[in-house]
Structure formats: structure tokens, C-alpha cells
Structure 1
Amino acid sequence: MTDTTILRQRTGEETPPAPPRAGSLLTGLLRTARPRQWVKNVLVVAAPAAAGELFSLHALARLALVFALFTACAAAVYLVNDARDADADRAHPVKRHRPVAAGQVPVPVAYAVGGALMVLAPAAAAWLCTPSVAALLTAYTGLQLAYCVCLKHVLVVDLAVVTTGFLMRAVVGGLALGIPLSRWFLITTGFGALFMVSAKRYSEAVQMAGKAGATRALLTEYTTGYLRFVWQLAAGVAVLAYCLWALEEGGVPHTSVLPWRQLSMVAFILAVLRYAVFADRGTAGEPEDVVLRDRALTLIGGVWVAMYGLAVVNW
């Protein structure tokens, strides 16, 4: 212990926190980028998979690049968001452990790295991909930045913005490969995302009852009844749109062993019903956590992927 530290203790003066070490800072930046939530960016392969365009090295390489660029944009948004919400996050029982709120990543560093990624990712997309991909990434970062600054405080609009972020992930894969997007694909993806987003908000409202304003002020404006209505409505529309898509394809002659596209409706509906169990309990947090931690839901999802894949390859 140094003489300066001893003197500070004797006089009652607080010792300033030590600056984070380089290794600790890099670890904090990586944690702030939310590696678990990178699972959401797998949606970039949704449109190409639906169109059966995943069976070439060119397509796989392009989608891997788009995945990385979207991950960079999402990481930039998380960094800026955590920097802005550092004070509020310290009042949350879980979010107070985030690197920025805990002091592992200084607020100015989070802003600087986030701002750099917001500029570099769309620029790289314009150079390595297509102008449409760059435009969508720019729109995504702009929309999410507006969300961090003000839109997350606007009733209902906050749900629409987060849902749009999921939808943009699904659309960008089609733009990268020049694949036309089905209206049923867009409706299913959009309302499926709204289902998960509103279920998460509902769970937050239930868990933070009486102190919601301390971490997400807008939760005090929603009622649990309204949020329940939203996730139930969204789940119903998503299921209906998926079934209409599957049955629409049923009129097309096929040579597969079984009608996998129609059979995939069963797995899709079971997955929605299983997810709704957690939504109803008020324990539907981050979508990737719900899916990965529940073995039954993971199994159902795997069965759906297998059926969907067999339908695409017409096996």
C-alpha cells in the first residue's frame, strides 16, 4: 500500500478507481458486444435457406461476410446503448453487472468503439457487398441509435423498432444474394419477432413490478394485460402466416418422400406453444436464452430445421 493511499484512507478521501487493464478492457468490450445475442444474426441465412440458395461457396462466403458485418453493427449499438444506460443499469439486479455499468469499460471508450463500428461496417458492406446491403446496415444502425436516444421511450414504437431490427436481419440475406422475398416469409418473420419482443417486455414488467421505472421507464406505461394481448396476437398471426405459406406450396407438384413443408407446420406450432409457456410465466427473457436453455424447445427447433431443410432440397 502506497503512502498516498494510506493518507487518503486517514483523511477519509475516496481512492479513485484504477484504470482498467488492457486485457480486462478487451474482455469487457467483447462481453458488451453480447456474443450470446449473435445467434440472432443467423437470421441472415433465413431468406437464402427458404429459396434453397445455400449450396454454393459464393453464397456461403457472402452470407458469412454479411453475418460478420451485421454483428459489428449490432455490437456498436450495444456499446452505445450501455454507455447511455450505465446509470439506469446500475439499479437493475442483473444489468448492473454489465461491463460499462460495472466500470470495466469506461463510458468514453464504449462510445468511441461503438461509433467507429457504426461507420466502418456499412463502409465495408458498400465495398465488399452491394449498395443495398450497405444501405440496410446504415438504416439499421440509424434506427437503433434513434432507439437508444429517444424511441425506446415512445409507447408501442419501441416494440416496432426492436421487431424491425429482427426483420432487417432476415431481409439482408436476401438482398446480399439478390433473392426475392416472399410476403409470407416477411409476415411470419415480422410477427414472430414481435411475439418474442413483446413476451420479453411482458416478462420484464412482471419481474420488475413496483420498480419498473428504475431500469426501463417505459414499462410503467404498459400494463401486463396489454403486453399479454400483443404477444398472443403476434403469435397467432405468425402461426397463421406460416401455415398459409406451407399450404400454398402444397399445391405445387413435388417428388419428395413426404410433404415436409406441410409437416413442418406441426414443429413450428409446437415451438410457438412451448415458447408461450415461458411468456405466460413471465420468464421469457432474451430469446436466445429461452431457446438454448430449454431442451424441449431446442429439440423441437432442431426437428423443424430438419423438416424445413428436407423441404428445401425436395428430398
Structure 2
Amino acid sequence: MTELRTSKPRAAQVGTAGGLLRLSRPRQWHKAAIVFAAPAAAGALTVPAVVLRATLAGIGFVLLAASIYAVNDLRDAPDDRRHPRKWSRPVAAGAISPPVALAFGVSAAVAGLIIAGALGWATFGLAVAYLLAQGLYVLGLKHVAVVDLMIVALGFVLRAAAGATATGLPVSQWFLLVSLFGAMFLVTGKRKAEYVAAGNAITRPVLAAYSVAWLDQVLTVSLVGTAFVYGLWAFQYIHHDTYRELLAVSFLPFLTGLLRYALLVSTGRGEEPERELFRDRVLLAAGLTWVTLLTIGLYLA
């Protein structure tokens, strides 16, 4: 307790700019990179205009996410101050005042919507849907079992779809289904890892509504769904030219990565999938092999 009391004043000494940067959670910005998924799958990442528009979409969604983080930290500040890890968040620690956090959240939301609007009405609509869904999540739906999983997964799907609308590329049913099942797989894996790591000291209230058996069931369904839909997409290229057939071969490292991550989750790891990717050699090797096969199949064919 002494350490906690002496650490809080130091956290409050962080400058406003630094506090706002922490409030926007830079470690989470990489999630917006999913806007490049549709252009990548279409083999269009060699077109400068496509890359530019996808980059703008990514920036827009980073700003929208930052606005949600600000509202979340503002709303949860009283509880965060009593949390063993979250007490150091800028609002809870006193580094950022509630009015400044609110102003930052509103400004980030407006800026994100302006950027999305500049990329077309379809992208703007997806941005509004993302903001509304995540806002409802923060305002209470994150405490509703099952709904919390669906909203977090929906956030990934909306960003992936925005990458297509922003660049004017068609979205196939395979792309959307892989995005949905893949997002559900990662989100459920994260919840399972949190559940196992928490033990009897559950700090996320909604976890108390789950059971290991149910999470395992959803994890299995989402894994099978992701692998099945990806396989349907990949195997349509059999009997094409040699390079295109590598897309079918990419199913093997893709499935290996899914199964490896599921194994890590079963052992209590996987709470941060992006970190596990670089910590686990098998997962990293599977990921690199998959990306290599996709790159050759999509861009050299």
C-alpha cells in the first residue's frame, strides 16, 4: 500500500501531452492496421492511391478508438484507482483532469469522423457504427456476457470493411466471414486467457459470468469457422497457375497458427495475441510462412 501511495503522485507529474498520449493507448494502435486487410487480399497494396486511402482510414479509426479509450477511462476512474494495475491510467492517477479527458475524447471522435467522411459515405457510416457500438460497450455492454465478445469482434469487422470501402474495393463474403470468425477466435482466446490468469481474483466483472467450458466451446466454434471459411477461399485457387496455387498451400500455416494460439490459450497465455506472436517461435514461423505464401500468390501471379 505504501508503494501505491508514493507512486501515484509521480504518475500525476506526467505532462498533459504525455498524459493524453497514454490516454490514447499507443500500444493498441496496431489494431487499426486491419484496414489494410481488404487491399492486401485484393492484391492492391502496390497501388499508391490505395495505400494512401487505407492509411487515412487507419488514422481515422485510431482517433475513434482514442476517443473511446478517453470516455472509458473517464467513466472507470473511480474503480481504476482501486485496481492493482489500472490505477496508473492518466485520469485515475490525476495526470489528466476529467474535463480535459472529455474534451480530448470529443475532439478525437470528431477528427476521426471527418477523416472517415472524406473517404466516402460508406466509410463514414462504418465509422459511425464503430463509434456507437464501442460507445455502448463502454457505457455498460462490456458487463453483459456474450454481448461484450460480439461487440469487440464487431469492432474488428467494421474496421476491416472500412478498409474496403475507403479504397473502393469489393468485399467478398469470404473476407467478411473470415474477419468475423477470426475476430471471435482472438477475442474469446483473450477472455479465456484472462479468466485462467485471474483465478479467484477476477478483476473484469463480466468474466464471472463465464465458465471455462463455455469459453472453450466458443473458442472451438470460432476456430473451426475461421479455418473452414479461409479454406473455402484458399482452395478455390487450385488448378490455377503455380503462384496462385500457393494460396491454397497457405491454409496449412494458417491452420497451424490458429491451433498454436489455441494451445497457448489453454495454458493461460494469449491475453495479448500480438505479444504472443513474437514470443512463440512456432506461432511466429507459421505467421511468416503464411504471409510469404500470400504475398507470392497474390502479387506474383
Relative to the length of structure 2, the TM-score reads 0.91
User: Is residue 223 of structure 2 the alignment partner of residue 235 of structure 1?
Assistant: yes
In the alignment, the residues of structure 2 paired with residue 18 and residue 185 of structure 1 have an alpha-carbon distance, to the nearest angstrom, of: 47
Whichever of the two has the greater Rg, that structure is 1
Which residue does 1:11 correspond to in 2?
none
In the alignment, the residues of structure 2 paired with residue 69 and residue 223 of structure 1 have an alpha-carbon distance, to the nearest angstrom, of: 36
Question: Which stretch shifts more, 38-47 or 201-210?
Answer: 201-210
* Displacement of 1:32: 2.3
1:63-98: CA deviation from partner (whole Å, max 9, x where unpaired): 111111111111111111122122333343332332
8 Å contact 2:60–2:111 — kept in the other structure? no
* Displacement of 1:255: 4.8
* Helix, strand or coil at the partner of 2:45: coil
8 Å contact 1:40–1:288 — kept in the other structure? no
Q: Taking structure 1 as reference, are residues 224 and 313 closer, same or farther at Cα in structure 2, changes over 3 Å only?
A: same
Which residue does 1:50 correspond to in 2?
41
Question: Which stretch shifts more, 227-236 or 104-113?
Answer: 104-113
Q: Which amino acid aligns with 1:233?
A: V
* Displacement of 1:19: 10
8 Å contact 2:193–2:268 — kept in the other structure? yes
Q: Which amino acid aligns with 1:178?
A: G
What pairs up with 1:36-185 in 2 under 5 angstroms?
A: 36-126=27-117, 128-185=118-175
* Displacement of 1:120: 2.1
Matched positions, count: 294
Q: Taking structure 1 as reference, are residues 196 and 56 closer, same or farther at Cα in structure 2, changes over 3 Å only?
A: same
Q: Taking structure 1 as reference, are residues 97 and 135 closer, same or farther at Cα in structure 2, changes over 3 Å only?
A: same
In the alignment, the residues of structure 1 paired with residue 32 and residue 115 of structure 2 have an alpha-carbon distance, to the nearest angstrom, of: 17
* Displacement of 1:193: 0.7
* Helix, strand or coil at the partner of 2:163: helix
1:169-218: CA deviation from partner (whole Å, max 9, x where unpaired): 11111101221111111111111110110111112122223232xx3211
Q: Which amino acid aligns with 2:219?
A: W
* Displacement of 1:166: 0.7
The unaligned stretches of length 5 or more in structure 1 are 1-15
In the alignment, the residues of structure 2 paired with residue 19 and residue 187 of structure 1 have an alpha-carbon distance, to the nearest angstrom, of: 43
Which residue does 1:34 correspond to in 2?
25
Q: Taking structure 1 as reference, are residues 289 and 85 closer, same or farther at Cα in structure 2, changes over 3 Å only?
A: farther
Question: Which stretch shifts more, 215-224 or 62-71?
Answer: 215-224
* Helix, strand or coil at the partner of 1:85: helix
In the alignment, the residues of structure 1 paired with residue 10 and residue 248 of structure 2 have an alpha-carbon distance, to the nearest angstrom, of: 60
Q: Taking structure 1 as reference, are residues 91 and 234 closer, same or farther at Cα in structure 2, changes over 3 Å only?
A: farther
In the alignment, the residues of structure 2 paired with residue 28 and residue 295 of structure 1 have an alpha-carbon distance, to the nearest angstrom, of: 35
Relative to the length of structure 1, the TM-score reads 0.87
- Percent identical pairs in the alignment equals 38
* Displacement of 1:287: 2.4
1:98-150: CA deviation from partner (whole Å, max 9, x where unpaired): 22332222233222211221122112321x31111111111111110011002
Which of 233, 254, 273 is 2:241 aligned to? 254
Which residue does 1:5 correspond to in 2?
none
1:285-311: CA deviation from partner (whole Å, max 9, x where unpaired): 122222233343223212211111111
8 Å contact 1:47–1:170 — kept in the other structure? yes
The unaligned stretches of length 5 or more in structure 2 are 1-7
1:224-267: CA deviation from partner (whole Å, max 9, x where unpaired): 2111211121111101111111112325x3253x7210111111
Which residue does 1:296 correspond to in 2?
282
Which residue does 2:253 correspond to in 1?
267
* Displacement of 1:18: 9.5
Q: Which amino acid aligns with 1:188?
A: V
Question: Which stretch shifts more, 89-98 or 158-167?
Answer: 89-98
